[in-house]
Amino acid sequence: MFLHEWFVVPLNFGFMQNALLASCVIGIVCAILSCFLVLKGWSLMGDAVSHAVLPGIAIAEVIGFSHPIGAFISGLMCAVFTGFIDENSRLKQDTVMGIVFSGMFALGILMIASIETDKHLMHVIMGNLLGITRAELNQTLMISGLVVVVMMLKWKDFLLYAFDASHARVVGLPTKILHYSLLIMLALTIVAAIQAVGVIMVVSLLIAPGITGFILTKRFSTMLIIAIVVSVIAATMGVVVSFHIDASTAACIVLAQSLLFALAFVIKKLILAINQEKTSDYLNPQI
């Protein structure tokens, strides 16, 4: 009875079905990309690009253009610009990203606040998963499907580049192409995700699953599976709980991912402690 009320009753509503499907699909694609970003050390890049899409959305609204295309172009251009500054100055990449993307986010806020429109552009910042339309859902499914197909077809190349770019270059892989391809996949994923969780919280979806898998295993394939499972569980929990407590769906999903990460961290520590105790008992047997 409890499970029926909590998990079945909410799905009687069409908007809840759309929200659950969208959150799970976005969770899966973010989980896949998250594993590569964590290995590459690009966790901050996801946060940066997500904040840089705002000016593109604002400009697209003014000229009557598609929001996702404007967001994609804006995010990708800023990512490339950051890479250019990083390669042609003594500044570190995180410093450059902190300056460029915070400035882009501030510019986007000012532009959105000054635009007179009947659309709720502020939903881009915090997300509006429960209000996602069928057209937006189809758009999310297409973008997510494209990213998943590309990442799975070239996962070995992306994995080697993320783990050791120098070695990838030595064995003949086109590291420049892989670099910008990964940026494009990141920008596309963020475009797909901002409708659900907004630009502020999308960074959690791009970091938490990969980190959770990373601390539980050393095998990439297992890490990928754990990340996907964690994302789907968090998406389901977040959507259902937000329905019952009348809270922000995006916040509930992010909180669920944070709790699952904390649980994984505790489990890993317990396993290490148990193994250490067994090793100690083996090396120092009691007589």
Please report the DSSP string for 164-190 in residue order.
-HHHHHHTT--HHHHHHHHHHHHHHHH
Comparison of pLDDT for 95 and 186, the residue scoring more? 186
Q: Which range is least confidently modeled, 82-86, 102-106, 166-170? A: 82-86
pLDDT reported for residue 69? 87
Buried b (16+ CB within 10 A) or exposed e, 35-58: bbbbbbebbbbbbbbbbbbbbbbb
Position 246 in a domain: no
Position 105 in a domain: yes
- Checking if the pLDDT of 246 tops 90, the result is no
Residue type, 282: Y
Q: Domain total for the chain?
A: 1
Q: Which range is least confidently modeled, 11-15, 125-129, 241-245? A: 125-129
Work out the average pLDDT over 187-212: 86
H-run or E-run covering 208: helix 175-216
- Checking if the pLDDT of 157 tops 60, the result is yes
**Distance in angstroms (rounded) separating the CA atoms of residues 61 and 121:** 9
Here the tokens at position 128 are 């509006």
Residues 6+ away with beta carbon under 8 Å from 60: 66, 67, 69, 70, 71
Residue 238 — very low, low, confident or very high, per pLDDT cuts 50/70/90?
A: very high
The burial of 15, by beta-carbon neighbours within 10 Å (0-12 exposed, 13-18 middle, 19 or more buried), is given as middle
Give the domain extent around 91: 24-198
Residue 25 — very low, low, confident or very high, per pLDDT cuts 50/70/90?
A: very high
pLDDT reported for residue 76? 85
- Checking if the pLDDT of 218 tops 60, the result is yes
Comparison of pLDDT for 144 and 136, the residue scoring more? 144
Here the tokens at position 204 are 């959690």
Position 287 in a domain: no
Work out the average pLDDT over 61-84: 83
Here the tokens at position 111 are 């532009």
Cα 254 to chain centroid, rounded: 10
The candidate with the shortest Cα–Cα distance to 231, out of 270, 192, 257, 267, is 257
Sign of the C-alpha dihedral computed for residues 235, 240, 243 and 244 taken in this order? negative
Q: Which range is least confidently modeled, 111-115, 173-177, 202-206? A: 111-115
| CATH code, domain carrying 126 | 1.10.3470.10
The candidate with the shortest Cα–Cα distance to 241, out of 232, 251, 231, is 251
Residue 235 — very low, low, confident or very high, per pLDDT cuts 50/70/90?
A: very high
Residues 6+ away with beta carbon under 8 Å from 256: 233, 234, 235, 237, 238, 241
DSSP-based three-state secondary structure for 92: coil
Position 206 in a domain: no
Residue 194 — very low, low, confident or very high, per pLDDT cuts 50/70/90?
A: confident
Position 108 in a domain: yes
Position 164 in a domain: yes
- Checking if the pLDDT of 139 tops 70, the result is yes
pLDDT reported for residue 221? 92
pLDDT reported for residue 193? 86
Position 113 in a domain: yes
Residues 6+ away with beta carbon under 8 Å from 231: 24, 27, 28, 30, 31, 205, 209, 257
0.85 exceeded by pTM: yes
Instruction: Name the one residue in this structure whose structure tokens are 């910008």.
Output: 180
Position 50 in a domain: yes
Comparison of pLDDT for 122 and 30, the residue scoring more? 30
